[in-house]
Amino acid sequence: MRLNIIVLAKQVPDTRCVGQATMRADGTIDREALPVIINPDDMKALEQALRLKELHPESTIQVLTMGPSRAADVVRESLFRGADGGYLLSDNAFRGADTLATSYALATAIGKMGEYDIILCGRQTIDGETAQVGSQVAERLGIPQVTYAEEILHVREGHLTLKRHIDGGTEIVEVPLPLLVTVDSSAASCRPRHAKLLMTHKHTDIMAWNATDIKADITQCGIVGSPTRVKDIETIVPTKKESRVIGSSDEEIENLMVELFG
Amino acid sequence: MNNLFVYIELQEANRVAEVSLELLTKGRSLSHELGCQLEAVAIGTGLDDIAQQVMPYGVDVLHLFDGAELYPYTTLPHAAILTKLFEEEQPQIVLLGATAIGRDLGPRVSSALRTGLTADCTALAIGNYTDEKTGKNYERILLQMLPSFGSNVVATIVNPEHRPQMATVREGVMQKEMVDAHHQGKVIRHEVKDYVTDTDFAIKVIECHIEHAKHNLKDASVVVAGGYGVGSRENFDLLFDLAKELHGEVGATRAAVDAGFVGHDRMIGQTGITVRPKLYIACGISGQIQHTIGMQESAIIVSINTDPSAPINAIADYVIIGRMEEVVPKMIKHYAQLLHR
């Protein structure tokens, strides 16, 4: 069986590296100062795709990412791990997009990529954490979605079976192809780069598409196509309580416990 | 028309989830402020008991979609029903729980309606907004507040031009409050087949495995929480020891969960559980807003930290400067002594 698999992946600032050096004087984060990585859940989506390809070796994996030119690394890193190709969607017209405008651009690009059976992406990104784009792409394409997937179990007779997380447990669902799957952070981690593939693809050019290439309706892209606006951003100064500072000596801890529970 | 709608999530086939009651309470006050009605939508199988559960929260109109295969939840039929119902009813605001279901359903519906959706709000209010570019004023729209990633800022998001204004809200963030145990609103039973097609039932749930909660962190009166500063799984055992002694539960920050010190189900904060215990003991927690948003309403906060300038100390009643490996065993020892006095 030959499956056409598309993986959606995003380059994000590594929010785990937030520290003194990346803080501005006003207490906000200097995003530019953070290193960039591929969104961790998206890497897990790539791993699920690679496993499917191992089961069905004739399958192809295409990666689609959107961002500035440096985001081409997302596709390249995927090639190093066994993806077959990919595209970078990059245009000033896409800037400032909320999830609705982002999903419009991605779905439009997917339309240009051709036939697909399975679209995989991470459940959410670490910079936005909305977990919305996957569902919205599926809606745009008019295909079923399965969110919070932990493991793809098998593909048989035009149906995919997978295990997914729900509140308080897990369930196993069966869905007809084509479909979109968002992969949960509980899924298996992505394999490391393959040394041979790294050599092969080190200098591979990544195909870049702009808004015209995918025939996007500019009024639905970027900030123009985004229903939501940021009204204001407020720095929170934690409400100062009358804190009592104490040391860690036996006596001080004993007094505290008497005060709390005595 | 143009009312405020709340999607009623079902926990078991016919029991309304806590988060939905919390949203009805918030929705009631917002709709009062707007002078519109509060409407609720429940979708499932065998919904006769739903009205009596939601009406005391002041629901003016309850929409019921009762049919086979609508429980357990699957995306497509629920999304199809909400999309068509909202096209007919033209709500101005739609609220959903930021649960596994709400976060699956919300974006599908908002995309179909080509409107905005703000995820994981921690506060909602009615207010005005001026678009700086066009100078256009929007009065009495939904202000959707949420902490922005990785830093101590709160962003207010608005959706000025598109309707409905949609938001998801975490369980436990809003407080539920009945308005009238005898309140009776209107109940509308819809024909399910007018809203769904056969292809909407493409997803089959083959097996469902619900684990009983291993802990009762949400309702614990004492919470002992650890951050990245706890340093290891072994040191987290100390927190479990203290929690056991105090008849409390153990919680954690995202950083501690990501580091693998403790399970994801114990995460407190914006994308985890919200707690309001009588006593909150924060060990090795720096106090990022994503965490404090989930515990700041604790009655008494004790912070144990080696860093005197950790942000959490500013909201703590007691700040113990020291290493948790030393302090926690002393707390256990002195609490035990106190009991035997």
Quote the pLDDT of residue B271.
Answer: 78
Higher pLDDT, A62 or A128: A62
Sort out which chain A residues have CB atoms less than 8 A from B211's CB and list them: 168-169
Quote the pLDDT of residue B213.
Answer: 72
Q: Is the pLDDT of residue A28 over 80?
A: no
Q: Tell me if chain A has a CB within 8 Å of the CB of B213.
A: yes
Q: Is residue A247 part of a domain?
A: no
β-bridge partners, A232: B156
3-state secondary structure chain B: CCCEEEEECEEECCEECHHHHHHHHHHHHHHHHHCCCEEEEEEECCCCCHHHHHHHHCCCEEEEEECCCCCCCCHHHHHHHHHHHHHHHCCCEEEEECCHHHHHHHHHHHHHCCCCEEEEECEEEEEEEECCCCCCEEEEEEEEEEECCCCCEEEEEECCCCCCEEEEECCCCCCCCCCCCCCCCEEEECCHHHCCCHHHHCCEEEEEEECCCCCCHHHCCEEEEECHHHCCHHHHHHHHHHHHHCCCEEEECHHHHHCCCCCHHHEECCCCECCCCCEEEEECCCCCHHHHCCCCCCCEEEEEECCCCCHHHHHCCEEEECCHHHHHHHHHHHHHHHHCC
Domain B217-339, CATH class in plain words = alpha beta
Question: Chain A residue with minimal CA distance to B260?
Answer: A186
Q: Is the pLDDT of residue B1 over 80?
A: no
Torsion of CA A10, A13, A17, A19, to 10 degrees: -160
Question: Chain A residue with minimal CA distance to B319?
Answer: A245
| Alpha-carbon span A92 to A211, nearest angstrom | 9
| Alpha-carbon span A222 to B111, nearest angstrom | 15
Quote the pLDDT of residue B170.
Answer: 86
Which of B151, B162, B197 to probe by mutation at the A interface, max A CB count within 10 Å?
Answer: B151
Quote the pLDDT of residue A69.
Answer: 95
Sort out which chain B residues have CB atoms less than 8 A from A27's CB and list them: 151-153
Report B:53-82 residues touching A (Cβ under 8 A): 72, 74-76, 79
What average pLDDT does chain B have?
A: 94
CATH number at residue A188: 3.40.50.620
Q: Is residue A53 part of a domain?
A: yes
Radius of gyration over every alpha carbon of chain B, rounded to an integer in angstroms: 22
Tell if the CB–CB gap between A28 and B151 is shorter than 8 Å.
yes
Torsion of CA B293, B296, B298, B299, to 10 degrees: -160
Q: Is residue A144 part of a domain?
A: yes
Report pLDDT digits (tens) over A222-245.
999 999 999 988 876 666 678 899
CA distance A230 to chain B (A): 5
Q: Is residue A140 part of a domain?
A: yes
Q: Are B320 and A248 in contact (CB under 8 A)?
A: yes
Q: Is residue A257 part of a domain?
A: no
- Counting residues of chain B whose pLDDT is more than 90, the rounded percentage is 83
The residues near B74 (Cβ < 8 Å, ≥ 6 apart) are: A173, B201, B203, B205
Tell if the CB–CB gap between B111 and A139 is shorter than 8 Å.
yes
Domain count, chain A: 1
Higher pLDDT, A259 or B52: B52
Report pLDDT digits (tens) over B86-128.
999 999 999 999 999 999 999 999 999 999 999 999 899 999 9
Closest CA to A5 of A55, A59, A42: A59
- Residue appearing with tokens 């690394």: A73
pLDDT bin (cut points 50, 70, 90) of residue B272 is confident
Q: Is the peptide bond before B72 cis (omega within 30 degrees of 0)?
A: yes
- Counting residues of chain B whose pLDDT is more than 70, the rounded percentage is 99
- On whether the B4-201 domain is CATH 3.40.50.620, my answer is yes
Cβ atoms within 10 Å of A241's Cβ, excluding its own: 14
Q: Are B283 and B321 in contact (CB under 8 A)?
A: no
Q: Are B39 and B61 in contact (CB under 8 A)?
A: yes
Report pLDDT digits (tens) over B206-218.
999 887 777 889 8
Cβ-Cβ pairs closer than 8 A, A with B, add up to 238
- Do the strands A207-209 and A85-89 form a parallel or antiparallel pair, or are they unpaired? parallel
- Residue appearing with tokens 């729209």: B141
Quote the pLDDT of residue A240.
Answer: 62
Quote the pLDDT of residue A90.
Answer: 97
Higher pLDDT, B152 or B83: B83
Q: Is the pLDDT of residue A167 over 90?
A: no
Closest CA to A181 of A122, A227, A128: A122
Quote the pLDDT of residue B210.
Answer: 84
Please state the domain extents for chain B: 4-201, 217-339
Output the six-digit token pair for B189: 């039973």
Structural domain containing residue A133: 4-232
